[in-house]
Amino acid sequence: MATETKWKTLPSPDARSPRPGTPAVSVVLFCSENVVHTPAILEQLLEFLEPRSHDHELVVALDGHLGGLHARFLERTQDLSWVRLVRLHAALGQVATIRAGVSVARGQRIVTYPAYPQVTPEGIDTVAERLDHEEYVIATRRGGARSGFNRMARKVFNGLIAMTTGIHFRDLACGLHGMRSYVVPALSGYGQNQLFLPILIAREGFRVGQVEVDPDTSTPNLRLFGPATFGRRALDVMTLAYLVRFTQKPLRPFGALGLILLLSGAVMSLVLAYQRMVLGQALAERPLLLLALLLITAGVQVIILGFLGELLLYLHFRDQSNYRISEWFRGGETETLGLADESGDAWNAASGFDTDADTDTDTDAESKRMPSARS
């Protein structure tokens, strides 16, 4: 008589009680630009987090050029043991500031908070709770922008992102994000804007969700952006489309473009050859001949550029994986391990890691529990 198989369900690492002295939630206030409202935002967060300071911490991450603001905040928070400050050595942009902040955060859940009015502090709890089900969470401001122009601009931008990358988000411009601690090593250092992060995280294979929060109503109804801002956003869209679709296959876009140019030049050359050899028409002072030669030369160069991209990709990434394991099973032990959800201790035991040796180092333990692929 066959015995009943019992499947062992392992608890999520974030569902376990945090280690003594370790906060459950780390809030990272990142500031790289738009510093006018930052002191007021800090005071709001201090007031909101102080009753929660027993299991919450605040990390203030400042870009390198904000030395004066750093000195001011240092004086303001020097008596608060649950507040940490970090400042970059130079002005490196928004993404570098966020990465610096989350790298020193100790919480199992990490929530990034913008240093300019976008959302209310109550959204922190909403995002942190959603992390029970997702690995990375993006806040969506409820009701959208209050002005028709801003709503239209946001819809156009998010629509272009969805169309070019195949990943749809309702409010990419919102800076309130949340992540589990093991997602931090997968944060890309590419780019200067937080807009890149959720798309690249989703491309890495992590579960990314969205949750609605209340917007901040203290800002003007209408924010106008200059032509330079729209130009940068257009370049962001093209860059994201390439990174998401063609990072592992650079020859496809370059090869397609090169073939179009090469074939166009070849067709023009055949037409000119027919006119010269059959119809007897002279080729002197024919701009079409120069254009045909230019297209053929450009096509060959673009195709060669694609091949060089493939060669660099092969040499650089041949020893790396471009996938993440979502479930692991070994017959005879009647256990299934969902690596994105389940206990890191079970993964360490099944993989041969010495779990006892990892208990003293939080960073090493998390990196071994939740391995993520680079691509």
Radius of gyration from C-alpha coordinates of the chain: 26
Q: Which contacts of 69-78 are long-range, i.e. CB under 8 A and separated by 24 or more positions?
A: 69/31, 69/35, 69/38, 69/39, 72/39, 73/42, 76/42, 77/46
Assess whether 61 and 156 both reside in one domain: yes
Give the domain extent around 347.
328-369
Q: Looking at residue 95, which CATH number applies to its domain?
A: 3.90.550.10
pLDDT in tens, 1-55: 444 433 333 344 444 455 667 899 999 999 987 788 899 999 999 999 999 999 9
* 170-173 LR contacts (CB < 8 Å, sep 24+): 170/140, 170/210, 171/138, 171/139, 171/140, 171/141, 171/144, 171/210, 172/138, 172/198, 172/199
Last residue of a domain, one of 211, 246, 281: 246
Same domain, 76 and 190: yes
**In the structure, what pLDDT confidence band is assigned to residue 229 with cuts at 50, 70 and 90?**
low
Same domain for 242 and 130, yes or no, is yes
Which of 93-107, 133-147, 176-190, 217-231 has the least mean pLDDT?
217-231
Residue 92 domain-assigned (yes or no)? yes
203 lies in some domain: yes
At 46 the pLDDT is 94
> What was the pLDDT predicted at 129?
93
Adjacent-strand bridge partners of 211: 139
Rounded-to-integer distance, Cα 272 and Cα 267, Å: 9
Kindly tell me if the per-residue pLDDT of 273 is higher than 90.
no
Q: What percent of the chain has pLDDT over 70?
A: 67
Query: Does 20 fall in a domain?
Result: no
322 lies in a domain?
A: no
Condensed to tens digits (0 to 9), the pLDDT of residues 313-330 reads 667 665 555 556 555 555
Q: Are residues 54 and 199 in the same domain?
A: yes
Sign of CA dihedral 101, 124, 75, 53: negative
pLDDT at 161: 74
Residue 341 within a domain: yes
